[in-house]
Amino acid sequence: MFAYHKDEEFCSNCEIELNSLAERCKGMQAAAIVSSDGFVVSTFGRLKDGGNRLGSMTSSMQALAEAVHEELGMGDNEYITFKSSDGNLVMSRVHDLPLVITALFNDRETVGHAIFSVKQTVDQICGGMPK
């Protein structure tokens, strides 16, 4: 399995996409793109431990969500949201790639716009993949 987190050019492209996401969503506080087994590819904003712990948790959450979807016969998981009093967290698999994006938004960002923007970023990451 290709280790995206070890590919400097890919990591750099992901960083550009996270910065672009932050430009479109002024309420984005932090974000990370991680491999499906929990390694950090790229981060935005201040994250404890360089985002390593969030990376592992993102990987676990995505896998648990997919297990629940499979158990209930709900089809493929598209995204996960967590709502708190301070804002929303959105997680999404990067289409068929073994990558997951997670982004934290404050309450100035609507959940609809946050999900839409994360999906745009997912498309852009996949669009930039070598053919």
d(CA 129, CA 131) in angstroms, rounded, equals: 6
By C-beta, is 49 or 123 nearer to another protein? 49
User: How far is the first Cα of the chain from the last one, in angstroms, to the nearest whole number?
Assistant: 17
Least distance to another protein, CB of residue 94, Å: 13
Selected binder of another protein within 20, 56, 81, 106 (CB under 8 A): 56
Site map (CB under 8 A) of another protein, residues 85-114, x = contact: -------------x----------------
Number of residues that bind another protein (CB under 8 A): 25
Amino acid at 7: D
Selected binder of another protein within 12, 19, 60, 110 (CB under 8 A) = 60
Closest distance between another protein and the C-beta of residue 51, in Å?
A: 11
Question: Measured at the alpha carbon of residue 120, what is the angle toward residues 42 and 114, in degrees to the nearest 5?
Answer: 85
Ordered DSSP codes for 80-98: EEEEETTEEEEEEE-TTSS
Residue 81 is a binding residue for another protein (CB under 8 A): no
Q: What are phi and psi of 31, to 5 degrees?
A: -160, 160
Question: Which listed residue (13, 29, 36, 77) binds another protein by CB under 8 A?
Answer: 36
CB count within 10 Å of CB 37 equals 14
CA distance 42 to 57: 15
- The residue ranges that bind another protein (CB under 8 A) are 1-6, 35-39, 52-53, 55-57, 59-61, 63-64, 66-67, 71, 98
